[in-house]
Structure 1
Amino acid sequence: MSTLQDKYASVIAAAQSAGIENMKVSEQNGILYVSGSAINSAAKDAVWNALGSIDSTYSASDINLDVQVGGLSAGSTLTVNTESSNLNIRQEPSTDASVVGKAAKGEIVTLVEQTSDEWWKVKTSGGEEGYAYARYLQA
């Protein structure tokens, strides 16, 4: 087992115990890739929480989580699950992109598209459409 897989062993274990299906773990150029599909957003959250407990300053330079939540389709309603702040809705799927709207903690948004594991395109109740960080959205 490599150093990255050792470092993130609890994340891999959390993914397995949360029931992440078709899980693949690989390493390339010093980045650990974990992919698979989750039965629900709680299973996916378990993986993010395990990652957060190891590395609260999580960066994509070490690990790439690509866990799709099954059963979510366009039109699904999602709840904003931030710590306390508003969730930024951005023009593009990047933290560098301009903010086109905000959704408050607990607000319901509509899934437009699961564009990637990290960024989902959503529509707010006010009609603003853009990309939100998927780890703060719960089905």
Structure 2
Amino acid sequence: MALQDKYKELIDTAQSSGVTDLKINEQDGVLHIDGVAPSGAVKDQLWNIYGKIDPNFLTGDVVMNINVAGAVAGAKLKVVTDATNLNIRKGPGTDQPIAGKAAHNEVITLISKQSDQWWQVRTDGGVEGYAYAQYLQPVE
């Protein structure tokens, strides 16, 4: 049985679940599945299907390299500070003046990623500026 037939359910689910940059390649008796899942839940679903087909992951005939898409422009982000408000600054850096604040657990919108550390955001109240990315988590 060809590996793509054995793992048909896994491949079909990857294709129908919105996995982007999906690459399926069979080489030297190993099926390689690469791509970017739209959410952690989709990635978990793929691993669960793999576990159903090969319950102990012992055959070693699949290498699955599925990453989860990060936050993209327009994505909703939750403020995950300990309990305090998150400062939204006029520029990327703690030396920049504060333009406004986002409350603990508030959901705001990503405009762009200035860097891995500073993301440009907008609150529902219309405050735009830069927030420290460590305190922002994509909402699924």
TM-score, normalised with respect to structure 2: 0.50
